[in-house]
Structure 1
Amino acid sequence: MHIHTFRAESLQAALQQVRDALGPDASVLQTREKRQGRLGLFTRTFIEVEATLDVPVPSHFADRSQSTERSSSAGQVGDKQISLRTSISTTDSSLVSAACSARASASHSVDAPTPGCSEEMPSAAMLEVQADLLSSGMSPSTIAALMREAVEQGRGEPTADAVDAMNNPWALRGRIGQRIAKRLKVAGSIELSANKPQVVALIGPTGAGKTTTLAKIAAGFRFDLGCRIGLVALDTCRLGAVDQLLQYAELVSAQLEVVSSPDQVNAALQRLSDCDLVLLDTAGRAPRDAEQLSELHRFLKLAQPHSTQLVVSATSSAAHAAQAVERFSVLAPTNLLITKLDEAVDFGSWFTLLERTPLSISYLTHGQQVPQDIMVASARRLSSLLLAPLPYRS
């Protein structure tokens, strides 16, 4: 590997030298602050950047995979609409069974039958809610189970309220939403430490939105709480990625460290020891690539983050998200951070994953604006998103 060294008065100027000399595909290996002068007199501080062109970076891969995913998603939307029409017209037998059972339970608790009610068929409200849940991506078996639980929830209520819940779509959605919320685990915001920097790592598949999410978190803590922020780019980084991080670092007045090998981790963190919050940005990893995950594990083992956020895009299918949770478990993530909810098509299909994963959900993002488009996850908010048949809007 042929390593080039560039020096300038600022990191931005040094990166411009890298771009001019090696082109936009160069990889930044390390950045460091150095001082020049004799015997401590007339000392001048400058930035030194090491870069190379020898590390192959398939920069087209992310764009191609995202384009493929978008095309696939578009096809899935069309297929989903056809499937949804079929599901609603035929109505899955498990849904009919659950709805009829619910309606019968409610009706039997009232002395006189409600006009227009039939114990043999689900009410219009039930069918409406079922259609919404199907269109959100939730499976028929999950919908049936939630419907039964919603009925059980009302057994101790006045009979009129129980019947109303079966005939009022908003009341029924509210009951189902409560059942969903009780099954979800949320973590709350990142907690700062009084004695030392809180170190938080963001990991996840390529294209999940880690760097933009890092910027949103950094800006929130900087502007809302006045925290001192440090940013670290772990592993060999493309020049474009470092440029993006540099822009975010300037936005929040943060010091940026670029680390290309594990033996540089401790020194970088030591230089950020006066920060309140240090955020570690990592390169995207393919969940199936064990070698890449092992390499990232070596960095994280030395960094010893207080929390590790697994960043997963809501545009992914539930199956792909579950695979990411399983594969990235070797890195011991502590939380799940869900991005791109504004682009999600069938987020309801994630319910089983979110219910079963041991990871608590920390943050939700829903757009590209920094720092606005991020919120601390709450069970109530997640429940409403899982129930919504249309993409989230802030």
Structure 2
Amino acid sequence: MFVKRFVAKDMHEAIRKINSEFGPDAVILQNKTVRKKGLSGLVSKPLVEVVAAYEPRREQETAKKQQPIRKAEQKSEPKDPPRPIRVIRNTEKPSGDGNLKQLSRQMDELKSVVTDFSNRIKRAGFENPPAFPEDIQRVYFGLIDSDVHEELSKEIAAEVQAAKNRKEAEVLTVAGQLILDRLGEAAPLRPRKYKQNVIFFAGPTGAGKTTTIAKLAGMLKFRERLEVGLINTDTYRVGAIEQLKIYSQIMDIPVRTAYSAEELKESIKAFESRDVVLIDTAGKNVKEEANRRELLRLLEAASPDEVFLVISVGTAPRACREIISGYSFLDNYKLIITKLDEVSCWGNVLNIADYAKKSLSYVTMGQNVPDDITKADMKLLAGNIIGRKAASL
């Protein structure tokens, strides 16, 4: 099977690219909007990113090997025009308001096909699943399908099986409660009154720290009516300083840039009249001793009241474990998980919380500043992971 990512200006162009490379048997696994990296991405039109897969037919491959094409025949035979990628169509003839309903049905069918295809790929690696009863097997594979890592899925399934007085109809409810217990309670910012609150943000490159800080700054200013100051210490990434300046100008929030630990102290002092000071840092590889020491110097200079580790939900589970291990030198921190709008299953939120054993504070869903950030709703997260509405947990 071949899987490839295609980036285009719109969906029509993406489909043309897929059709040109994979042909009509390609299957679209995922699509989302993305922006160019750097400052130009803030003002340019978003692009479309599509992940497509193609499984060559064995019969076709065998036929090609057994029947080589002669040059003369190849020149004389006209080349067939490319066929469009197949989509599921409804044969009913729409009329009136039926257009919208028909489109909705087609989208549901397509989503079902893609989900089933994705799940079959995931389950292909589980030839010998744990020996659970049938109802517990459904819980186990449901967690796997939601991107919960294998060991944690086994643990939760075993705990559901061990639950006293368990009934088949209550299996998902029990699983949901176990997930809620693991997620814990949300721990949002609670700025202290009549005192400067210094908040320090760390995390890998691409996690969305700068955008998250801008969202929090807007939330604190416009909802909480607090005076906010921004400090940028990310002087390495191209466009990082300009990005935070643009946000600060839009929201009328002052921003300062610190090139060293000493300048960070001076910037914090300059904001002593502000209720909250948010500090952005560079997303460097903290496995390297020099980078870790630099971050520790900034942390010591800031002497923050709270520290947040920012991780994208789209990061692979193994990479999440390595990131959390790399930042283990942080004595105490809370989690912010970003980009939930870019994935359909939120099982990796549970993975991250399980790896870190830290409180989850906020999640972000979208690029809008300051709207697309909310306090972590544990019932909503657990409901997505087990496939039930939050109200039923």
| Fold match (TM-score > 0.5) | yes
What per-residue deviation string (whole Å, max 9, x for no partner) do you get for residues 107-148 of structure 1? xxxxxxxxxxxxxxx25xx55544432211234553343234
Q: Confirm or deny: 8 A CA contact 1:228 1:275 kept in the other structure.
A: yes
Q: Which residue is 1:374 aligned to? A: 373
Distance change >3 Å, CA 304–CA 385, structure 1 → 2: farther
Q: Which residue is 2:156 aligned to? A: 146
Deviation at 1:277, TM superposition (A): 0.8
Tell me the TM-score normalised to structure 1 length: 0.64
Q: Which residue is 1:43 aligned to? A: none
Looking at structure 1, the residues matched to 237 and 137 of structure 2 have their Cα atoms a distance apart, in angstroms, of 52
Q: Which residue is 2:90 aligned to? A: none
Distance change >3 Å, CA 356–CA 284, structure 1 → 2: closer
Q: Which residue is 2:132 aligned to? A: 98
Looking at structure 2, the residues matched to 245 and 142 of structure 1 have their Cα atoms a distance apart, in angstroms, of 38
Matching of residue 213 in structure 1 with residue 251 in structure 2? no
Q: Confirm or deny: 8 A CA contact 1:315 1:345 kept in the other structure.
A: no
Q: Confirm or deny: 8 A CA contact 2:340 2:363 kept in the other structure.
A: yes
Q: Which residue is 1:83 aligned to? A: 121
Q: Which residue is 2:146 aligned to? A: 136
Distance change >3 Å, CA 232–CA 74, structure 1 → 2: farther
Provide the secondary structure at the position in 1 that maps to 2:124. Answer: helix
Deviation at 1:267, TM superposition (A): 1.5
Looking at structure 1, the residues matched to 150 and 267 of structure 2 have their Cα atoms a distance apart, in angstroms, of 51
Tell me the TM-score normalised to structure 2 length: 0.64
Deviation at 1:273, TM superposition (A): 0.7
Deviation at 1:380, TM superposition (A): 2.4
The size of the alignment, in residue pairs, is 283
Matching of residue 174 in structure 1 with residue 184 in structure 2? no
Q: Which residue is 1:191 aligned to? A: 190
Distance change >3 Å, CA 199–CA 148, structure 1 → 2: same
Q: Which residue is 1:257 aligned to? A: 256
What per-residue deviation string (whole Å, max 9, x for no partner) do you get for residues 346-376 of structure 1? 6425535423523211111111111221111
Looking at structure 2, the residues matched to 143 and 300 of structure 1 have their Cα atoms a distance apart, in angstroms, of 36
Q: Which residue is 1:234 aligned to? A: 233
What per-residue deviation string (whole Å, max 9, x for no partner) do you get for residues 35-92 of structure 1? xxxxxxxxxxxxxxxxxxxxxxxx99xx9xxxxxx99x878x999644335368x6x4
Structure 2 counterparts to residues 187-336 of structure 1, below 5 A: 187-237=186-236, 240-336=239-335
Looking at structure 2, the residues matched to 349 and 186 of structure 1 have their Cα atoms a distance apart, in angstroms, of 17
Provide the secondary structure at the position in 1 that maps to 2:200. Answer: strand
Structure 1 residues without counterparts, runs of 5 or longer: 1-58, 64-69, 100-121, 156-161, 390-394
Q: Which residue is 1:387 aligned to? A: 386
Looking at structure 2, the residues matched to 217 and 210 of structure 1 have their Cα atoms a distance apart, in angstroms, of 10
Looking at structure 1, the residues matched to 125 and 261 of structure 2 have their Cα atoms a distance apart, in angstroms, of 53
Comparing 181-190 with 298-307, greater Cα deviation is found at 181-190
Q: Confirm or deny: 8 A CA contact 1:188 1:378 kept in the other structure.
A: no
Distance change >3 Å, CA 147–CA 299, structure 1 → 2: closer
